[in-house]
Structure 1
């Protein structure tokens, strides 16, 4: 399968399907845990307060992350929240960041190989599990991924096309990565920079040409980065003060990398292979292509040696992707989403494998994959039918969208028919096009039926609002908060506009129940299943709420002393 064959058999509707995946499920669901209630509340606070320097969570400084994502999301909520709703407006920014990542991936593929490779990388990345999941989630990693990809593309233009003037936007994009998630942003860019700088310098050395270090452009990039990132750092120091600045830098950045900030969580010491599992999961269903890409790169590197290695277009991608993976593995703090900014490199490596003839096992795997997709679509379309045969006790735990036929099931049935047609249309389009199209259809169907069921189970907005409504307005300022998670703080603020001052000392909790505290006369307790063991004195439950469902339920209790 040559390049022209792929290009001529890449119809517009395949790209439309892949891009449609970026938009389904954006506007028609509630905030989901983890992260969304917290990050959406921070963005909403920016929209309401106009403070774009110090992020706030429930009226308290929240400086785990710089403000880039929150500021853009807050601006979107301010401009379009009335039309789309605050949840849809904020989540829309994630989708837009995702489209930006796809565009940068295309530009990288076009520069590194050709337009066809860039387009195929877009199609593959848009249908990778990790990309789809994270570009539908309100998280700062979406903006981080965009700025990293944009900065790496600029450096690729400088090294591959000898365009030193791209160094300045590279520095600005690197500043954007820093303002999205802090120090890790420039480190990610550094891995991409290494991927394109090293082969360029190696080629010049092998060909006995003058090695161009681009010293002046790099200094210009550094200056652009310093200006872009430094402005916010100075403002944070001036507006927030030294204590807040130290908390942001030393606790949330240095502490996360070294594992000394244990209270921030996500610690995985002694797990050097953690991200291999993430890579396998996030790259599905294109993991076989990625493995093939690594295998072919290693084979070609051994066959040609150093003399031809620098000519291999896969070298920048391997250095960028594997370098990012190693960098993250060194850190004690680990989480699957942290690998997201490296995925354009892996998608491009997969796209290069689509250009040539694939081994028979690749075709066999994706024949099985498409069959599995068809079965899943069939089951989703008929969910109300087969669920009727389940025991009543099991059905009682099913969301209503899985028990009753509706337009969503009809849409999934149509998607099933389209998928079956694509599976059998072997002579109309190339195999990779059909793999991508069927995969995109499955994602769209997932958001239509299973996604709706998940939303019914995870939605917490109504429960948070109902709980706050049960607290008289005149008593809210005298209610303290105990054990509040970031999710609870964000959910109460986002849905009910409520914030409660937190207390942490058992002595003060006891004083409130006794009626001896000068500031509070009651307390709201979060996620405590054994109130008797916690309170250790007579109490009265004034209101109770259970946001979420199943094991994710977060019990909320408003209590006061029984003797009041």
Structure 2
């Protein structure tokens, strides 16, 4: 069923001639988007996102963490166990790491390779929405929704951010659209089995991307939608033993392998990460319940007025799109409510709702076109598009001109002198992204007070490393050390070169490390070299009084 909403209600006339200004070309562009293949729309979106993927360094902690895990897979050849600083990292499933490792292998270790996966996933979300709406709504809905999504500041930012959120959102969206397509095909007596198997396979991939929510959220959306329409028979037909077998075949082998290798894996990965974390309060970015509901209008700032204009217009016009609107409403509300329950609310969690939100904005554009005329609405849409594109461009410019904290400069200095066999010790700090800038970086230790009970009470890099060390205690004991252990290790191997990384005053907190040579300091992080000339002072009975440094002075 394909329904075009191209005629205005009675009393509204369309102009016979149109000046070929920006509004005219925008209207033509949207019409062309509606007629293009969904693959072409996805490729155009990917091109738009890819233009600025490589213009600023990796952001920490998230980009450094997730790209670092993927890079460790690539360098070690072990694609089964995600590792953080050599330790098993089971906070998240492996799919995103696998895809990023493949991207880095094909494109090289650079910013574009690191961020290509979220850009691809954003393009997949847009292409999926376009295909579904073109088939079950109209070309107008497909074209306007694609334009709103590709210009959304939230989606643009997510496509440039190398973490799991965009991958999860694209796969959840794909599950919902495949399930919706299968259900509507059933109701129309048309073939649906390929879409149904695609639903289950994609749910398995979503599980490998984020865990149980990759199944629960799309499943809940489809259940609420079908029961809300009274289509319980269709809901029963969506359940497939063959499909369930496909889902299990995709989702479970990696888990069983990890459980066989690490006996405590299920308890940590399923019970703690999927259930306890959902309700705990000691995590980052606590926000009130309404946070995501307030965020959505900002996510598509330039287009949001069309939604409020729509509310003043006719909402119940008999255009046959009730099932599609119902699916989109179920998707929007399910995602918003589900992620509003936990105290911790990160912006990227709401991305599965961006497609349905864009649909309702597109619906508002089309309805206003029917009442006010296409020319007037397209003139306003030019400004909407301009506002969104300007926000995206400003964000990229800000990242270039005022870069966030990163280890690029530090890594450049370390890479110029680092040799295989050298040791690297972080002093009461940790930089996830350092390995991205120093090829082959190994032998890393982190010095901290690891017996501090406060570490396990809040989300931090300390907690992540401490939890990871429990799966391989022997390696963990060599990696997570205190000051006395560091001193003993250094004294046992006085021929090694040790690189110390910490805050600019970290070394001065220990008298015996005052002699290390400072090579880099950016007021946030510093690098020292500690080699055989300093070992006598480190391991002697009574170190000599510290002498003034003759190397590069800290930037104060």
TM-score normalised to the size of structure 1? 0.72
Distance change >3 Å, CA 296–CA 175, structure 1 → 2? farther
The CA distance in 1 between the partners of 2:489 and 2:254, in whole Å, is: 44
Following superposition, the deviation at residue 25 of structure 1 comes to 0.7
The CA distance in 2 between the partners of 1:470 and 1:161, in whole Å, is: 63
The CA distance in 2 between the partners of 1:93 and 1:527, in whole Å, is: 31
Aligned position for 1:169: 198
Aligned position for 2:243: 221
2:30 to 1, 6, 10: 10
Distance change >3 Å, CA 538–CA 66, structure 1 → 2? closer
Query: Are 1:86 and 2:89 matched, yes or no?
Result: no
The CA distance in 2 between the partners of 1:516 and 1:235, in whole Å, is: 34
Aligned position for 2:482: 509
Work out whether residues 137 and 321 of structure 2, in 8 Å CA contact, stay in contact via their aligned partners in 1: no
Aligned position for 2:410: 463
Q: Secondary structure at the match of 2:322?
A: coil
The CA distance in 2 between the partners of 1:517 and 1:76, in whole Å, is: 38
Aligned position for 1:321: 332
CA-to-aligned-CA distance 1:297-353 (integer Å, 9 cap, x gap): 9x858x99xxx9993643222221111111001123321111112211111111111
Equivalences for 1:520-539 in 2 at 5 Å?
528=503, 531=506, 535=510, 539=514
Query: Are 1:232 and 2:205 matched, yes or no?
Result: no
Following superposition, the deviation at residue 68 of structure 1 comes to 0.8
The CA distance in 2 between the partners of 1:186 and 1:286, in whole Å, is: 31
Following superposition, the deviation at residue 214 of structure 1 comes to 3.0
Query: Are 1:286 and 2:308 matched, yes or no?
Result: no
Which runs of no fewer than 5 residues in structure 2 stay unpaired?
8-13, 15-25, 35-40, 452-480, 540-556
Aligned position for 1:416: none
Query: Are 1:53 and 2:83 matched, yes or no?
Result: no
Distance change >3 Å, CA 18–CA 332, structure 1 → 2? same
CA-to-aligned-CA distance 1:286-307 (integer Å, 9 cap, x gap): 22234455x469x858x99xxx
Distance change >3 Å, CA 127–CA 451, structure 1 → 2? same
The CA distance in 1 between the partners of 2:525 and 2:513, in whole Å, is: 23
Aligned position for 2:426: 481
CA-to-aligned-CA distance 1:195-239 (integer Å, 9 cap, x gap): 542344x2x58xxxxx4333464443333222211122112223x
Work out whether residues 128 and 282 of structure 1, in 8 Å CA contact, stay in contact via their aligned partners in 2: yes
Aligned position for 2:400: 452
The CA distance in 2 between the partners of 1:20 and 1:447, in whole Å, is: 18
The CA distance in 2 between the partners of 1:468 and 1:543, in whole Å, is: 15
Distance change >3 Å, CA 9–CA 537, structure 1 → 2? closer
Work out whether residues 369 and 377 of structure 2, in 8 Å CA contact, stay in contact via their aligned partners in 1: no
Which runs of no fewer than 5 residues in structure 1 stay unpaired?
206-210, 364-425
Distance change >3 Å, CA 61–CA 432, structure 1 → 2? farther
The CA distance in 2 between the partners of 1:221 and 1:432, in whole Å, is: 46
The CA distance in 1 between the partners of 2:30 and 2:219, in whole Å, is: 34
Work out whether residues 129 and 285 of structure 1, in 8 Å CA contact, stay in contact via their aligned partners in 2: no
CA-to-aligned-CA distance 1:163-221 (integer Å, 9 cap, x gap): 54122110110111111111222233124323542344x2x58xxxxx43334644433
Following superposition, the deviation at residue 534 of structure 1 comes to 5.5
Aligned position for 2:58: 31
The CA distance in 2 between the partners of 1:41 and 1:538, in whole Å, is: 29
Equivalences for 1:379-390 in 2 at 5 Å?
none
Following superposition, the deviation at residue 469 of structure 1 comes to 4.4
Distance change >3 Å, CA 518–CA 460, structure 1 → 2? closer
Compare the two structures and name the one with the higher helix fraction: 1
2:355 to 344, 355, 358: 344
Work out whether residues 480 and 520 of structure 1, in 8 Å CA contact, stay in contact via their aligned partners in 2: no
Following superposition, the deviation at residue 557 of structure 1 comes to 5.3
Aligned position for 1:152: 176
Q: Secondary structure at the match of 2:78?
A: coil
Following superposition, the deviation at residue 145 of structure 1 comes to 1.5
Work out whether residues 518 and 529 of structure 2, in 8 Å CA contact, stay in contact via their aligned partners in 1: yes
Work out whether residues 157 and 392 of structure 2, in 8 Å CA contact, stay in contact via their aligned partners in 1: no
Work out whether residues 64 and 248 of structure 1, in 8 Å CA contact, stay in contact via their aligned partners in 2: yes
Work out whether residues 60 and 433 of structure 2, in 8 Å CA contact, stay in contact via their aligned partners in 1: no
Query: Are 1:431 and 2:451 matched, yes or no?
Result: no
Q: CA RMSD in A?
A: 4.0
Work out whether residues 289 and 343 of structure 2, in 8 Å CA contact, stay in contact via their aligned partners in 1: no
Aligned position for 2:93: 66
The CA distance in 1 between the partners of 2:237 and 2:492, in whole Å, is: 61
The CA distance in 2 between the partners of 1:18 and 1:212, in whole Å, is: 34
Query: Are 1:492 and 2:512 matched, yes or no?
Result: no
Q: Secondary structure at the match of 2:515?
A: strand
Aligned length: 471
Q: Secondary structure at the match of 1:242?
A: coil
The CA distance in 2 between the partners of 1:160 and 1:172, in whole Å, is: 19
Equivalences for 1:138-287 in 2 at 5 Å?
138-162=162-186, 163-165=191-193, 166-194=195-223, 196-200=225-229, 202=230, 204=231, 211-215=233-237, 217-238=239-260, 240-259=261-280, 262=282, 265-266=283-284, 268=286, 271-287=288-304
Following superposition, the deviation at residue 141 of structure 1 comes to 1.4
Work out whether residues 196 and 238 of structure 2, in 8 Å CA contact, stay in contact via their aligned partners in 1: no
Work out whether residues 21 and 127 of structure 1, in 8 Å CA contact, stay in contact via their aligned partners in 2: no
Which range moved further: 223-232 or 281-290?
281-290
Following superposition, the deviation at residue 514 of structure 1 comes to 5.4
The CA distance in 1 between the partners of 2:192 and 2:301, in whole Å, is: 37
